[in-house]
Chain A
Amino acid sequence: MQTAIAHAHDAHGNAAHGDHAHHHDVSFIRKYVFSTDHKVIAKQFMLASLLFLFVGGFFALLIRWQLAYPGEAIPLIGNILPDTWVSDGAVTANFYTQLLSLHGTVMIFYVIIPLAVGMFGNFCIPLMIGTDDMALPKLNMFSFWLVPPAGLILLSGFFFDSGAAAAGWTGYPPLGPSSGAGQTTWLISLFMIGFSSIMGATNYLATIVNKRAKGLQFFQMPLTVWALMITAILIILGTPVLAAAISMQLTDQYLHTSFFMPDNLLVGARDNSVLTGAFIQKGNELLEHKQLLGGGGQPILWQHLFWFYSHPAVYIMILPGMGIVSDVLATFARKPLYGYKAMIFAIMAIAFLGFVVWGHHMFQSGMNPLLGTTFMLSTIVIAVPSAIKIFNWLGTIWRGDIRFTAANLNALAFIATFIIGGLSGVFMASAPVDIYIHDTYFIVAHIHYVLFGGALFAIFAGIYYWFPKMYGKMLNESLGRKHFYWSFVFFNLTFYPMHILGVGGHMRRIYNPYIYEFLQQFQPMNQFITFAAIILGFSQLILIFNIFWSLKYGKAAPRNPWQANTLEWAAPAHPGHGNFDTDIQVYRGPYEFSVPSRTADFYPQWEEPQGQPEEVVAKDSHLRQHA
Chain B
Amino acid sequence: MSFDVSKAMEWAYKDMLTFFPENVSTFGSELDQLFAMIYYASVAIFFITYGILIAFIIMYRHQEGRRAYHYHGNNLVEFTWTLLPTFLFAGIGLWSDDAWTKSKSAYRVPNPDVTIDVLGYQSGFGWQFRYPGPDGVFGKKERNQISSANPFGIDSNDVHGKDDLVIISPGGARPVEAHLPINKNVLVNLSSNDVLHSFFLPNFRVKQDAVPGQWIKVWFNGTKAGRYEIACAELCGSGHYNMRGLLIMDSQQDYDAWLDQQYKLKKPETAPAADSTAALAVAPDSTTTKKN
> B257 at interface (Cβ–Cβ under 8 A)?
no
Known interface pairs A333-B68, A438-B207; A432-B238 also in contact (CB < 8 Å): no
> B10 at interface (Cβ–Cβ under 8 A)?
yes
Q: How far is the CB of A536 from chain B (nearest CB, A)?
A: 16
List residues of chain B with CB within 8 A of the CB of A339.
72-74, 77-78
Q: How far is the CB of A364 from chain B (nearest CB, A)?
A: 5
List residues of chain B with CB within 8 A of the CB of A472.
none
Tally of A interface residues using CB under 8 Å: 121
> A380 at interface (Cβ–Cβ under 8 A)?
yes
> A342 at interface (Cβ–Cβ under 8 A)?
yes
Name the contact of A525 in the complex, choosing from B10, B30, B86, B151 (C-beta under 8 A).
B10
Complex Cα–Cα for A596 and B70 (A):
7
> A524 at interface (Cβ–Cβ under 8 A)?
yes
List residues of chain A with CB within 8 A of the CB of B97.
373, 376, 431
Q: How far is the CB of B284 from chain A (nearest CB, A)?
A: 28
Complex Cα–Cα for A399 and B68 (A):
6
Within 8 A of B (CB), among A274-314: 274-276, 279, 296-300
Cβ–Cβ contact A335 & B70, under 8 A: yes
List residues of chain B with CB within 8 A of the CB of A510.
240-241
Known interface pairs A265-B212, A384-B85, A518-B202; A511-B241 also in contact (CB < 8 Å): yes
Within 8 A of B (CB), among A422-470: 423-424, 426-427, 429-433, 435-440
Complex Cα–Cα for A593 and B71 (A):
9
> Which one of A91-99, A547-555, A558-566 is at the B interface?
A91-99
> A499 at interface (Cβ–Cβ under 8 A)?
yes
Tally of B interface residues using CB under 8 Å: 105
Cβ–Cβ contact A515 & B38, under 8 A: no
Known interface pairs A342-B78, A435-B207, A518-B21; A265-B240 also in contact (CB < 8 Å): no
> A210 at interface (Cβ–Cβ under 8 A)?
no
Cβ–Cβ contact A381 & B89, under 8 A: yes
Within 8 A of A (CB), among B137-170: 143-144, 146-148, 151, 153
List residues of chain A with CB within 8 A of the CB of B57.
397, 402, 412
Complex Cα–Cα for A271 and B8 (A):
47
Cβ–Cβ contact B241 & A419, under 8 A: no
Name the contact of B237 in the complex, choosing from A97, A263, A404, A507 (C-beta under 8 A).
A97
Q: How far is the CB of A289 from chain B (nearest CB, A)?
A: 18
The 8 A CB mask of B87-131 against A (1 = contact, 0 = none) is 001101110110111011110000000000000011100000000
Listed by A's residue number, 8 A-B pairs whose Cβ atoms lie within 8 Å are A175-B196, A175-B235, A273-B148, A394-B53, A433-B34, A439-B234, A440-B233, A508-B235
Which B residues are closer than 8 A to A by beta carbons? 1, 3-5, 7-11, 16-17, 19-21, 30-31, 34-35, 38-39, 41-42, 45-46, 49-50, 52-53, 56-57, 60-63, 66-74, 77-78, 81-82, 85-86, 89-90, 92-94, 96-97, 99-101, 103-106, 121-123, 143-144, 146-148, 151, 153, 193-196, 198, 200, 202-203, 205-209, 211-214, 216, 229, 231-242, 244
New contact pairs (15) apart from A333-B68, A380-B89, A505-B200, CB-CB < 8 Å: A69-B1, A72-B1, A97-B237, A178-B194, A264-B213, A279-B194, A298-B213, A299-B213, A335-B71, A391-B81, A427-B42, A430-B93, A499-B11, A518-B203, A594-B68
